[in-house]
Amino acid sequence: MKFNVTVECTPEEARRFVGLPDVTPLNDALVKEMTNRMEQNLALMSPETMMRSWMSVGTQAQDAFVKLMSSGAAGALKGWGGTGDDG
């Protein structure tokens, strides 16, 4: 035997019916806090701010990247039978 029951109610009515707590104030506070944090972080993502932070490192990051690529290329040459001292 099969029964089909159709219930029409709002989400609020369903929540109350099954005894779940009303978390609307908590949700509102959470959304407000997330909005504030996103607005603060968006200010940090401006092109000017990003360039300032990247340039503050100076050439250290570039030198480290070149060293990483050079050591990787040298390791690849050694793996292929080269000396790795060609560059």
Q: Which two tokens stand for residue 6?
A: 């159709």
Q: Report how far residue 54's alpha carbon sits from residue 59's, in angstroms, rounded to the nearest whole number.
A: 10
Residue 66 confidence (pLDDT)? 83
Tens-place pLDDT, residues 32-68: 999 999 888 877 777 777 777 777 666 777 778 888 8
Domain ranges of the chain: 11-79
Mutual angle of helices 47-56 and 24-44, in 10-degree steps: 60
